[in-house]
Amino acid sequence: MIPTREEAWALVTEYTTSDSLRRHMLAVEAAMRAYAKRFSEDPEVWGVVGLLHDFDYERYPDISANGHPSMGATLLRERGVDEEIVQAILSHAPEVIGRQPESKLEKSLYAVDELTGFIVAVALVRPSKLLADVELKSVKKKWKDKAFAAPVNRDEIAHAASELGTPLDEHIQFVLDAMKANAEELGLG
């Protein structure tokens, strides 16, 4: 079963109370929908993957076989969610599942997940706090500052973009544009 967007959102709101985590999942959804269109894939399926990828994180924050995203995968399977979606969600934690993302769907999720958070961080240090005021050059400037959003693994993002066959600057701009198109929903409009 492939959940509708409404069903996926209901699951997100059932398991996640944090507005910032909800907005993160919405940002990943926006980027995933954009990549689905770019790769001539189903934006509904890809959007649901983006929306659900962290739905269990608040309740099971330990990234492990007994935590995120494993618990989420178990919950999704119990609800009869299609295994392609479950595997895509698991793939954004290769250290837990023991393999790197393989399909375009999996590689896209892995490539956009942390980048969306980085872009939000860049927006939040702008005086306006608006995505509309974020440009590629401002993201690249903060990218070079290793103290800024220090937990974000820039090498991982660059490698993931490469795995998609997309130059890093193009990947950043693409994700930024997808997020800008949904800025109001992300609380940055």
Q: Find, among 31, 30, 71, 25, the residue nearest to 52 by Cα.
A: 25
What is the reported pTM? 0.94
Mean pLDDT of 97-122: 93
Measure the CA dihedral 21/79/77/156, to 10°.
-20
Let me know: does 36 contact 46? Beta carbons within 8 Å: yes
What does the pLDDT read at residue 100? Answer: 86
pLDDT digits (tens, 9 = 90+) for 137-163: 999 999 999 999 999 999 999 999 999
DSSP string, 92-128: T-HHHHSS---SHHHHHHHHHHHHHHHHHHHHHTSSS
Quick one: CA dihedral 61, 65, 71, 76, positive or negative? positive
Half-sphere exposure of 136 (CA within 13 A, CB side): 10
29 in Cβ contact with 51 (< 8 Å): yes
Question: What mean pLDDT comes out for the span 107-118?
Answer: 96
The domains of the chain are located at 5-180
Give tens-digit pLDDT for 46-95: 999 999 999 999 999 888 888 889 899 999 999 999 999 999 999 988 88
Q: Please identify, in words, the CATH class of the domain defined by 5-180.
A: mainly alpha
CA 183 to chain centre: 15
pLDDT at 10: 96
- The structure tokens listed for 155 are 């090498």
